[in-house]
Amino acid sequence: MSPPGERSVGMHKADIGLHDVGFAYPGAPALMRGVSLSVAEGEMLAVLGPNGSGKTTLLRLLAGRLRAAFGRIEVCGMDPVRADRRAFAREVAVVGPQPELGFTYTVVEVVLMGRAPHLDGFRLETDADLAAADRAMRATGIGHLAERRFDALSSGERQRVSVARALAQEPRVLLLDEPAAHLDIKQQIVLHETLRMLREQRGLTIISVLHDLNIAALYFDRVALMRDGELFACGTPEATITYENVRTVFDTDVYVDLNDLTGKLNVLPLPTKRQ
């Protein structure tokens, strides 16, 4: 029997494969049961689960920032830990959970940092690099902030700059850790519609750690539900974000329904004490 999450990827070659991958921090087993999962080129996967269930660890393993204790990981045909860092960064961009502080650079300078893997040595940016940065800023709606100092922006603005920097990298794979954490409702929609558009136009493969079950259901092809360091379930939002699964994984009652307007799931948390 296939492990949960494994599936035939048909004509598309798998962009990302985790084969029985495990990891432990010193004194803290993070993913000890072995996670197996394939993500096809152009697919959008949301990783959901309670705090401490291993989502960020999974993303760090895919980004090559942690070395698996066992198992095998492949991203765009590369082993994330052994791959040449520049070659890996030309294919894979990462947006972390906390927009970094301490950059005294302007927004456009931060976005241009995304071009570094494409530059030879100390060569200055070309018109093509500037155009890529411009496209990324327009896609994330931060053009008006271009000359502002990064460290003088709000958390939500910094988060959009971090996404723009990753888009300027023009990767094939985008790994996002709570990219909408500081965004207002409109910016959450703008971000996810931009991701969908990039997937349609460029076949970008996207893995995003999220907390919002409704956003996951609205925009993602599949969701991976993590629980206690293992992959509890993986499949379409409709098959995976069920009352039973959410109850088991999050220890929370929700009301799940299909929305007539969107044809997608609506997930409504229920109070523990009904009034």
* Interface contacts to ligand ADP, rule CB under 6 A: 25, 28, 30, 49, 51-57
- For the chain, what is the total number of helices (H) and then of strands (E)? 9, 11
* Extended beta strands in 14-104, E state: 14-25, 28-40, 44-48, 70-75, 92-95
Amino acid (1-letter code) at residue 264:
K
In angstroms, what is the minimal distance from the CB of 63 to ligand ADP? Answer: 12
- Would you call 133 helix, strand, or coil by DSSP? helix
Candidates 157, 22, 165; CA nearest to 93 is 165
> Residue 246, SS3?
helix
Q: In whole angstroms, what is the distance from residue 160 CA to residue 111 CA? A: 10
Q: Which is nearer to ligand ADP, 19 or 65 (CB)?
A: 65
CB of 27 to ligand ADP, least distance (A): 7
Alpha-carbon distance 128 to 118, whole Å?
A: 11
CB of 53 to ligand ADP, least distance (A): 4
| Residue 115 Cβ vs ligand ADP, minimum distance, rounded to whole Å | 29
Identify which of residues 105 and 250 has a Cβ nearer to ligand ADP in the complex: 250
60 — phi, psi (to 5°)?
A: -65, -35
CB 181 → ligand ADP: shortest distance, Å? 12
Q: Between residues 159 and 194, which has the closer beta carbon with respect to ligand ADP?
A: 159
CB closer to ligand ADP, 96 vs 237: 96
| Residue closer to ligand ADP, measured from CB, 55 or 182 | 55
Question: At its nearest, how many Å lie between ligand ADP and the CB of residue 200?
Answer: 29
Please identify, using beta-carbon distances, which residue of 54 and 237 lies nearer to ligand ADP: 54
Ramachandran area for residue 11 (φ above 0: left; ψ -120 to 50: alpha; else beta): alpha
CA–CA separation, 35 and 94 (whole Å): 20
Question: What is the rounded distance in angstroms from the CA atom of residue 40 to the CA atom of residue 103?
Answer: 35
